[in-house]
A = this chain, B = another copy of it.
Amino acid sequence: MLRVRDPIHNYILLDELGSDLVDLPRLQRLRRIHQLGTGNLVYPGANHTRFEHSLGAWHLAGRAAAALELKRDDARAVQAAALLHDVGHGPFSHTADPLYRDYLGKSHEDLAIEALQKGAIPEVLQRHGVDPRLVADLVRGEGPLGSLVSGDVDVDRMDYLVRDSHYTGVHIGVDLERLVQDLVLTPQGIAIRESSITAAEMLLVTRLQMYAAVYLHRTCRVGERMIERAFRLALDGGEIKPEDLPRMDDLAATFLLRHCTKSDAWRIMLAVDHRKLLKVALEEPMGDYREDAITELAASTKRQQALEAEIAAALGCSPVDVIVDVPEPPILPEHSARVVLESGRVVDVDAVSSLVRGLGVAQRDHWRLRVMVPAAKRDAAPAKAGPILQRHLA
C-alpha cells in the first residue's frame, strides 16, 4: 500500500491498481493541470491540480464503496473510475472545453472515454482484472453505481468543493464523513439516508456558493477567456495543432503560447502572465435578454465573434481585445439525487427539501453576460456596447 499525504483527506492509500494507474504518464500529466485553470489570478493559493483531485476522488470512492459494502469488483471499478474521470481534461481544465468542442468536436468526457478504450490505461485495468467498459460506464454516470462517480452527490463533487475551498480560502460547510457513510444502494440506485439530508443540501448549496465565489468569478472568467482567445489565434494560424491539445499540460500551453508570434496569441499570454487583464465593462443578468438569443449565442463561437467585432468597431479597438462572455446556462439536475426516507421509501431530494427546490432559481442569480474590454476602454464601453447587446439579444 502506497500512502500519500493529502491536506484534505490526511492519508490516501493506493493499492497496486491505484499506484499502477497513477504511474502512467496520462495521470502524471494531471500534476501540471491546474484544477481551477486561471483561478490563481484571483485566489493566489489556488494552484492545486487535477492530479490531487483525482487521488481525492479515488479515496472517497473507496470510502463510499466500503459504506455501501460493494463487492470487490464493483468497488475497484468505482475507485478506478473516480481516479480516471478527469483524464481527458485539457490545459487549464475547463478553459479548454470550448476549444475541444470547436476544434476536435469532442468533450473532455469523450476524451476520457477514449483513453479507457485503448492504450496503457485499459491495459493496466485488465491486468488487475478490472473491466475498462464498466469503468467507462461509471465515468458516464451509467448503471446503478454511476451516480457515485457522476451524479448530483458524487465523489467528484465532494472532493472538488472541499479541495477548492481549502486552496482558495472560501469557507464552506461540507460534511464529507456523513456524505460517504450514509449512502444506501436501493433499487432506484444510490441514495442518501433521510437523517443525512442536511449534508446533501449543504453540498448543493455549497456548489452554488462556489459558483458565485470562484467558478463564475468575474476575474477568473477574464483569465480563462483570454487564454482561450490566445489558443484560438494560435490554432487558427496553425501555430498549434488541435490534436496536440489533449496532450498538453498547463506549462507547455503557456510556454508555446508565449512563443506563438504570428498572431496576437503571444501578447495575450504575456498579458495574463503579467496579470494585465481585460476589464469587465458590462455585466448583466441573463434574465435581461431573450432566452433563445442567449442559448444560441452560448452555443456559437461565430455569433460571439460577430458581436465582439461590432463592439470593437464601436470602441475603436481590435476585436482581439473584446470578449463577450456567455457562460453555459446553469443546470442543477437535483432530481437525480435520491433520499431514502426512514419509512424506506426512496424519493427525489427535491420532493423533501424546499431548500434544494429553490436552488435552481437561485443559481440563475449568478448567470451573467459580461463584456470584457481593454482597461482604457472600460469607461466608454457601457454606452457603446449596451445598445448593441440590446439590439441583438433583447
**Is the CB of A237 closer than 8 A to any CB of chain B?**
no
Other A-B pairs, 9, CB within 8 Å; known A47-B47, A198-B212: A6-B169, A7-B168, A28-B273, A40-B49, A45-B48, A47-B52, A171-B172, A255-B255, A353-B365
In the bound complex, do residue B355 and residue A5 qualify as a contact, i.e. CB atoms below 8 Å apart?
Answer: no
> Is A215 close to B, CB under 8 A?
no
Nearest-CB residue, chain B, relative to A54? B44
Asked if B166 contacts A7 (CB within 8 A), the reply is yes
B275 touching A23, Cβ below 8 Å: yes
Interface residues of A in 5-49 (CB under 8 A from B): 5-8, 10-11, 23, 25, 28-29, 31-32, 40, 42-45, 47-49
Does A379 sit within 8 A of B, measured CB to CB? no
Residue of chain B at shortest CB distance from A161: B173
Give me the interface of A with B, judged by CB distance under 8 Å: 4-8, 10-11, 23, 25, 28-29, 31-32, 40, 42-45, 47-49, 51-52, 55, 165-175, 177-178, 181, 198, 201-202, 205-206, 208-209, 212-213, 250-252, 254-255, 273-275, 352-355, 357-359, 361-362, 364-365
Contact in complex: B48, A47 (CB < 8 Å): yes
Main secondary structure of the interface of A (DSSP, over half): helix
Q: A11-B177, A28-B274 are in contact. Are A358 and B353 (CB under 8 A)?
A: no
Say whether B49 contacts A49, CB under 8 Å: no
B181 touches A175 (CB 8 A): no
Residues of B within 8 A of A170 (CB): 5, 173, 175
